[in-house]
Structure 1
């Protein structure tokens, strides 16, 4: 779905950060860009700082641009980005004894319960998420319904593969897949709807999160030396102009 089509399906509003979530996000320097984009409760909302928006605009202007997203490489395999949510990578925050999924759940949810599991001694067992993509509240309970909250790669692994990640080392791909700067806890339906779409094909249904989403996409692309397809560049430019 293109930018011009969004008003028919987007819910208006703003999803912003709590102080806890803002400080908890990993610093990620790209041309002095440090981005913290997660989600918080409206009564303690914060916006993306103007200087970060300016830096993201500059970073976007500096990205290499492809005429369009390359045809999908059918050789793509999720396994080339390492074991899902492995703690054994050189991504920020890795090696702490907890798998990446639980690290992000702990960062983005208002946690109400913990439980020891094989991959994390203090895994999140319950909590509440305000999905940044819809603004809707989701009650998380570990078990059969836990897929209601999913961890999204903002720059999808398959998209990154098509943009050039297929030429990276396995170490770099594993880092990318577990880098907190490229991860958000979101509602399951939005994550499934997005799939591996680039910004030209999908942006968050919630109008108010477009700026923060664009800042994070640009930051990740710039940090990992990836280009951007021109249709997505135009969408991101428009989103940043609306910050």
Structure 2
């Protein structure tokens, strides 16, 4: 999500050993949607994904958050642009990827489907007439990325980041609103998705050379313990 609520994080140059205390999203039944760390195809991460993510996490820079001054969603360009040039916008691409029993109008427009929400574990029925029920989340939030260095990126780079399938996930609107622009040190998904969430978050941070805060590093390390 790309909200702007915030309390500044703290940072240092070496990983912290203390475990960050995260806020808990609503509990539900077990989810069954996982993610590759850099792929656009959802799946459960394997043991190799976890090992790779641990190595990548150790290589991420740890920094404190900057200010939100100047942040606006428009700083990340066109919302749901067709950046992969397949003829469909990114929102419909992600809905088609992450939902099951998908019904479409034409090539692109997803009219209905079933979401096994990775954040809560609940099963959500999606219909386009109630589109806000299923939202497209930025796993590494836009506003957080802005504070962690994206404010210095070019407009084109920010637009690529905002529309990158690797950082997009179809989720139920309730936990997505709770997550807002929080990192993993402040918010966490259900236990069964914490490994996949960490693998994806770390891969996006590495891909875009984004640092993480001390609390986010520690939380990600804990989540990888579930892999």
Q: Using structure 2 for the length normalisation, give the TM-score.
A: 0.84
Distance 1:6 1:242 in 2: 18
Secondary structure of the structure 1 residue equivalent to 2:71: coil
2:55 equivalent to 1:58: yes
Matches within 5 A, 1:7-156: 11=27, 14-17=30-33, 28=38, 35=39, 38=42, 47-66=44-63, 68-70=64-66, 72-87=67-82, 89=83, 94-116=84-106, 121-143=107-129, 145-156=130-141
Change in 2 beyond 3 A, CA 1:37/1:15? farther
Secondary structure of the structure 2 residue equivalent to 1:47: coil
2:225 equivalent to 1:228: no
Shift of 1:113: 1.6
Figure out how many residues of one structure are paired with residues of the other and give that number.
Answer: 209
Show CA shifts across 1:77-125 (max 9, x none).
11111110011x3xxxx11111100000000001332114xxxx43110
| 8 Å contact from structure 2 (residues 80, 163) kept in 1 | yes
User: What 5-or-longer segments of structure 1 have no aligned partner?
Assistant: 29-34, 39-45
Change in 2 beyond 3 A, CA 1:207/1:10? farther
Shift of 1:203: 1.0
Show CA shifts across 1:61-81 (max 9, x none).
001111x333x3220011111
Greater relative contact order (CA < 8 Å, ≥ 6 in sequence):
2
Change in 2 beyond 3 A, CA 1:194/1:170? same
| 8 Å contact from structure 2 (residues 124, 172) kept in 1 | yes
Pick from 193, 200, 218: which aligns with 1:216?
200
C-alpha RMSD over aligned residues: 2.2
Distance 1:75 1:5 in 2: 27
| 8 Å contact from structure 1 (residues 151, 186) kept in 2 | yes
Distance 2:87 2:40 in 1: 23
User: What 5-or-longer segments of structure 2 have no aligned partner?
Assistant: 1-18
| 8 Å contact from structure 2 (residues 20, 218) kept in 1 | no
Shift of 1:241: 1.9
Show CA shifts across 1:20-51 (max 9, x none).
xx7xx7x83xxxxxx5674xxxxxxx631111
